[in-house]
Structure 1
């Protein structure tokens, strides 16, 4: 068993039958990056590798645990992926499916709740999940809290797509994950604030136990529309 991340990377490249240059190009790494690597990949570089090769077992690459490749089942999804658990339900057929990175971060339904993963903790890819209709740039994260239940219960996985021109057109009435300037990530159905639509939006919960609240637009750093949801149904 190769003892270092560098040695395991080289073994994987040999297994794929690539030249090291080809591997580095596919992972958006500079030429010679792997051969000059000392300790391992930084978070961004590791994400590049796992996105380029979703079949590669992250635990094997980093720690030498398990097999080089993820065990595959059925239509090719990873047995270590959350959606391969039969207790998850998804709303796609096999056609037009794209693998999307599942990030380690979460979004909370409550306006005043804290995220499980704080703003200063590094983001990384936990796994690659299949979603129908996903496009380049989409990501998946977990929902925490019950203010968006039953539509998005705690523990559900959300497919997100960034809204680039939200300041010009928000698309009111849909559910979004809002990344705030203080680092929090909240999930809300966003509607127009009647009293002051230029400076505020109205954030609504699905769960009627949670009241609607106005949110200043200046507190919003970025906006991500919820495109699809994987729901855990239990056993």
Structure 2
């Protein structure tokens, strides 16, 4: 079920749930002061990445569309597959460091992640445009 709130209203709801001010949200996400009050539509991909990086617990799907839950499940509730220790061990073998030989692998994985995020952002933009047309 999709709520009828705007993205700005969902940001305010998230701030209220987290007991922080909108100004603090903007500051921590690297957004300009008053950004939320001036927000008329969905933030662009760059702003979405800033928000997601600053507030990883925030479900970006919910923020943009109102679908789903406000908060993402914590990594511990998903299981050991997403825990930092396992991910670190997969990257370095020990979880403590990345050797010089693994640097190119890590960079390639990061580039793949960035490419996937860009594709998802484009998909979200298309979905939002379709939703706007239906209003």
Q: Could you state the TM-score of these two structures normalised by the residue count of structure 2? A: 0.59
Aligned to 1:211: none
Matched, 1:50 2:52: yes
| Consecutive unaligned residues in structure 1, runs of 5 or more | 93-131, 135-158, 160-170, 178-186, 188-222, 227-235
Match of 2:107 among 224, 229, 232: 224
Q: Tell whether the 8 Å contact from 1:21 to 1:31 is kept in structure 2 after alignment.
A: yes
Structure exhibiting the larger radius of gyration computed from Cα positions: 1
Within a 5 Å distance, the mapping from 1:1-235 to structure 2 comes to 1-72=3-74, 74=76, 79=78, 83-84=81-82, 90-92=87-89, 132-133=95-96, 174-177=101-104, 224=107
CA distance in 1, matches of 2:20, 2:55: 12
Q: Cα gap change, 1:47/1:133 in structure 2, threshold over 3 Å: closer, same or farther? A: farther
| Consecutive unaligned residues in structure 2, runs of 5 or more | 90-94, 110-135
How far off is 1:17 after superposition?
Answer: 1.1
Q: Which runs of 4+ in 1 moved over 6 A?
A: none
How far off is 1:225 after superposition?
Answer: 7.8
Q: Tell whether the 8 Å contact from 1:175 to 1:225 is kept in structure 2 after alignment.
A: no
Higher strand share: 1
CA distance in 2, matches of 1:29, 1:36: 11
CA distance in 2, matches of 1:45, 1:35: 15
Q: Tell whether the 8 Å contact from 2:88 to 2:96 is kept in structure 1 after alignment.
A: no
Q: Cα gap change, 1:176/1:90 in structure 2, threshold over 3 Å: closer, same or farther? A: closer
How far off is 1:49 after superposition?
Answer: 0.7
Q: Could you state the TM-score of these two structures normalised by the residue count of structure 1? A: 0.36
Higher helix share: 2
Q: Tell whether the 8 Å contact from 1:60 to 1:66 is kept in structure 2 after alignment.
A: yes
Aligned to 1:191: none
Q: Tell whether the 8 Å contact from 1:9 to 1:61 is kept in structure 2 after alignment.
A: yes
Q: Tell whether the 8 Å contact from 1:2 to 1:8 is kept in structure 2 after alignment.
A: no
How far off is 1:175 after superposition?
Answer: 4.0
How far off is 1:133 after superposition?
Answer: 4.9
